[in-house]
Chains A and B, each alone.
Chain A
Amino acid sequence: MDLLQLLIIGILGLAVVVAGTVFLARRRALPPATKPELPARPTAEPTAPPAEPGETPASELPAVPALERPEAPATRMARLRRRLAGSNNPLARGLLSILSSDRLDAEAWDDFEATLITSDLGVGPTQQLTEALRHELAIDGVSDQALARQILRTELLKLVDPDLDRELKVDGADGKPGVVLVVGVNGTGKTTTIGKIARVLVAENKTVVLGAADTFRAAAADQLQTWGDRVGVPTVRGPEGGDPAAVAYQAVQRGLDDGADVVVVDTAGRLHTKTGLMDELGKIKRVIEKLAPVTEVLLLIDATTGQNGLIQARVFADVVQITGIVLSKLDGSAKGGIVVQVQRELGVPVKLIGLGEGVDDLVPFEAEAFVDALLSE
């Protein structure tokens, strides 16, 4: 009882003080608040002198004997279309049959909205899309299915925004390797995705180092190593329960030493509500950046995730400034509509999608192909 009261009182007090200072801080001219973090710390860290033999023709290293040869990227797209068409057709069929019915009454629009909502698109975007379509169709008075589909396609495309830059940034500057940090909540498929990314990179004749900075989950490092060994990529790992930032640092150091093109760092799954774990994640990124800038921070979102995905993305974006989203497990019956909202709110594009457990089931996200696949029959 007492404790509870205190808690309330304490929190209120805290709120007052914080709100007050925040208010004051805002009111003061911005400069002090937006003080850049760097100048204070002269990069005294032994930033491993760029001793790597500059332009090592390391790409001539396909001396990966008897290793699995990853599939070329081109054939992946075809499979994407097939998979999506297979799994998501009910959505397309539902939408089109509603649109092509003779009379579009309120009930039909309700059904339409419902179909969209069941793809986890979220209430906001759904209403927006429905509004837009209603408007379009009211002008043209469409009962022709082809035209209806055309309009639906345009509107859907608008929603996914094809103009975003979806290139994976894996090229480091100044002879340093590109660093890809992969983050996400538990069980979204980070380790698996990294294994697949490593394969794609190897297929592009890049040299890769994997960093197993998931020191928490049992056997996570083993799992990553298994993936690495399959394509002949070294995995840097630390003791279980060790400091993940240290492992990440070592991995990037190894990448620098070996003159690798890309270092991909795996992190332990963490719920975005765990302040301590999120701080740890921030630390991992900071520590890596003592050696080389992180070129890409990928957030994994599971296609089955509902509206919580947006909150997750917000928090992760706050802590590590995510630059891209990977939508995993899209091969199930879930449609991953939540990424549309994430993309809209945070402006972070979906860059890759995972389509299954097969080793090459990772494809780049292409807005047009995605929408086409959704609407194909």
Chain B
Amino acid sequence: MFDTLQDRLSEVFKNLRGKSRLSEADIDATAREIRLALLEADVNLAVVKDFIANLKARALGADVHKALNPSQQIIKIVNDELVEILGGEARPLRFAKRPPTVIMLAGLQGSGKTTLAGKLGLWLKGQGHSPLLVAADLQRPNAVNQLQVVGERAGVHVFAPEPGNGVGDPVQVARTSILHAMSKLYDVVIVDTAGRLGIDAELMQQAADIRGAVNPTEVLFVVDAMIGQDAVNTARAFEDGVGFDGVVLTKLDGDARGGAALSIAKVIGKPIMFASNGEGLTDFDAFHPDRMASRILGMGDVLTLIEQAEKTFDAEQTQKAAEKLLGGRGEFGLDDFLQQMQAVRRMGPLSKILGMMPGMGQMKDQINNIDEREIDRLEAIIKSMTPAERANPKMLDGSRRTRIAKGSGTTVTDVNSLVNRFFEARKMMQSLGGQMGGAGMPGLPGARRQPPRQAPKPKGRGKGVSGNPAKRASSPEALPAAAQQPEWNPADAFGLGKSGQASDADLAKALGDFQLPPDLQKMFDQKNQGPR
């Protein structure tokens, strides 16, 4: 149902392959797909129309890069445009010349203002400020309590003279909070206001009054990344009613594409300053326009994948497993496999992770069909083996297999298939590892220990080349994304960078060029034809 732009464009470009430049009709066809993709990412319709018009002009215009193939051209243009709009005029938080700096949070109900107040407090505290949280949400039951608890967790003081639950005047609270902050020498005041709807004139007036009372240095509009077409109406209502200086995008840890960010940035012209991506108080970060661009387009988000991997994988363990695998002596056992599998699962649903891999777009349907419970079953089977069996699956004879099947509540067929698949996969992974080791990634540990028979093969063996148009689409996207972040070096982040001097561009290129091995494609195809 939700095809990514990548899928859509590959569909369009299937017919375009071989053409050296785009005709007007081609661009129209592409524009339609991009329009749909943006709409499905919840980008506002008016913004989409504008965007497409711009896009057409640019695609037909003179600045088309002649060196790129058509799909690369288009995606590059789209991506550039998106980054440009999103990246607008990024700026750091402003501080008042004379403290206290007052930051006021406003937004719809449930957009995450109270939680954000805590995050912001902790963040500012980390920067050596002494923030004060002000409970001016006296509407929602126990919002004051919530802020108090959040403040306690963040180790930030909370000013809450009123009990809330409909009692008290938020404007008065806000006003006295400033005096309180001055007398107690807090240098930043964060005012948490009640959630309100854009069309609620009374509450908007109240927000404006709060603003008037505290004269904030920054008014931040807090908006949920999941918001749909209404984002623009809401943002405009807040802009007109209260006025804001920056936007904070919350709940980015979900899989909403966050087109709203684009709409707001474009229509209101206010910068997106922060992104909040988790429930922990530290899950809070500056906003990355380039990542947001790929996200809106539904591109395989490699950087996010790497980041997540970095969080969940134990680098040492993984390296050991890799050396075993690439050693090619059959040392890579089921226990290593289990470890990897568990680490991958910790990163989220398998289907989603696979979806994030560039080049997997084409197999979206199959990927979506993967049943997570099947993986539980695999885990059960492996866990029913003895350590010796896991280390050396070759020793599994008939009676051992029967025992394992009994122990894991599966059948011998299941066990057999797992073991066979494992051997197959191991072989494939070894050759793939060799392949990648040869493909411009020096410093691969264990590569030198490779037996000669696994010398790097040229990429794209056989007719595999044509098999994957999605991969073509992904490569130019990855390039600019990586190039714009020179300070971000995955190798450093993993602490494994000593041997690998490859730059981000190489990485992106490698990923872009990354080709699914034909075996795997066959596997998916086969499965696809299976009886349903």
Interface positions of A (Cβ within 8 A of B): 1-28, 32, 87, 114, 117-120, 122-124, 185-189, 192, 195, 216-220, 222-223, 226-227, 240, 271-276, 302-312, 315, 329, 331-335, 337-338, 345, 357
Contacts and interface: CB of A to CB of B under 8 A. Distances in A.
Given A217-B146, A273-B255, A275-B345, A3 B425 contact: no
A186 B411 contact: no
B417 A219 contact: no
A376 B522 CA distance: 56
B230 A13 contact: no
Contacts of A187: 109-112, 224, 251
Please classify the interface of chain B as helix (H, G, I), strand (E, B), loop, or mixed, using the class held by over half of its residues.
Answer: helix
B421 A1 contact: no
Given A21-B414, A25-B414, A333-B234, A5 B111 contact: no
A2 B316 CA distance: 11
A186 B348 contact: no
A17 to B, nearest CB: 4
Given A1-B496, A117-B39, A333-B234, A17 B226 contact: no
Interface string B352-387: 111001000000001001110011011000000000
B185 to A, nearest CB: 27
A123 B39 contact: yes
A2 B322 contact: yes
B150 interface: yes
B361 to A, nearest CB: 14
A135 to B, nearest CB: 22
Interface stretch (B56-64, B388-396, B524-532): B524-532
B411 A189 contact: no
Given A13-B426, A226-B165, A6 B496 contact: no
B53 interface: no
Contacts, number: 316
Given A187-B109, A304-B234, A307-B257, A22 B45 contact: no
B456 interface: no
Size class of the contact patch on chain B? 35 or more
B425 A17 contact: yes
A32 B413 CA distance: 12
Contact of A7 (B114, B142, B224, B313): B313
Contact of A305 (B228, B343, B377): B228
A23 B433 contact: no
Contacts of B310: 3
Interface in B62-84: none
A218 B146 contact: yes
A8 B439 CA distance: 14
Contacts of A26: 527, 530-532
Interface string B508-532: 0000001011011001101100111
B255 A3 contact: no
B341 interface: yes
A3 B494 contact: yes
A18 B229 contact: no
